[in-house]
Amino acid sequence: MRFFLDTANLDELRAGASWGILDGCTTNPSLIAKEGIPIAERIRQITEIVDGDISAEVVATDCEGMLKEGRPLAAIHKNIVVKVPLTRDGIKACSIFSKEGIRVNVTLCFSAGQAILAAKAGAYFVSPFVGRVDDTGWDGIQLIRDICGIYKNYGFSTQVLSASLRTVNHVIDSAKAGAHVGTMPFKVMNSLFDHPLTDRGLEQFLKDHAKAFQPPAR
């Protein structure tokens, strides 16, 4: 499973990259707005930190507008994946981008039927929103399982990017369900490291080592 950070914050991306486990990054208009830096500039900065796929989302809602915004974003760097919403115009734009060799992440996916449309349009990624599905009382992880199963049945090459992950268990369960990628906020990636038995075990190892090898205090 590839690990992406779901952020446009450079400090968080630098920290994730420094651990050597960061495979890419996803952004969306809300995350870009939070940073207050125009998208093209921020995406260019991210390419200097992240060595992997970087999703840059369009804000146009019509196909022509998406194409006009997406092409220059794709030209920023070879790692850019243009992100479009799962609407009729988004799927149409995805088909055109795919034929042009521009990789697309189809976002705001909330059903397996929508995910089939994205795959048929040649999407590189489809992004089902686990946390937001859970919020509605449905099962976000079951959606990941369903999409992975359907893609396998038909040999679709679209990768399932499990998005809107809010907890460590969302990450683990997405991996169990077969998601190719998990994109998560920095807080969730940071929490993956933690286990009380790791802390307790390390403390004991160091205590035993010190007892055996440190000279007794006078």
Q: What is the DSSP string of the chain?
A: -EEEEE---HHHHHHHHHTT---EEE--HHHHHHHTS-HHHHHHHHHTT--SEEEEE----SHHHHHHHHHHHHHH-TTEEEEEESSHHHHHHHHHHHHHT--EEEEEE-SHHHHHHHHHTT-SEEEEBHHHHHHTTS-HHHHHHHHHHHHHHHT--PEEEEBS--SHHHHHHHHHHT-SEEEE-HHHHHHTT--HHHHHHHHHHHHHHHHHHSPPP-
Task: For residue 6, list its beta bridge partners.
Answer: 26
State the nearest-atom distance from the C-beta of 84 to ligand E4P, in Å: 12
Which residue matches tokens 């080592």? 209
State the nearest-atom distance from the C-beta of 18 to ligand E4P, in Å: 22
Q: In the set 3, 97, 124, 129, which binds ligand E4P (CB under 6 A)?
A: 129
State the nearest-atom distance from the C-beta of 184 to ligand E4P, in Å: 8
Name the catalytic one among 68, 83, 152, 211. 83
34 is catalytic: no
Q: Does residue 26 interact with ligand E4P by CB under 6 A?
A: yes
State the nearest-atom distance from the C-beta of 5 to ligand E4P, in Å: 10
x/- map, 160-199, ligand E4P, by CB under 6 A? ---xx------------------x----------------
Q: In the set 7, 47, 79, 107, which binds ligand E4P (CB under 6 A)?
A: 107
Cβ neighbours of 148 (radius 10 Å) = 21
Q: Specify the residue, 79 or 183, whose C-beta has the smaller distance to ligand E4P.
A: 183
Q: Specify the residue, 111 or 218, whose C-beta has the smaller distance to ligand E4P.
A: 111
Between vectors from CA 159 to CA 1 and to CA 171, what angle results, nearest 5°? 35
State the nearest-atom distance from the C-beta of 38 to ligand E4P, in Å: 18
Q: Specify the residue, 67 or 109, whose C-beta has the smaller distance to ligand E4P.
A: 109
Query: Which residues within the stretch 55-94 sit at the binding site for ligand E4P (CB under 6 A)?
Result: none
- List active site positions: 83
Which residues contact ligand E4P by CB under 6 A?
6, 26, 28, 107, 127, 129, 131-132, 163-164, 183
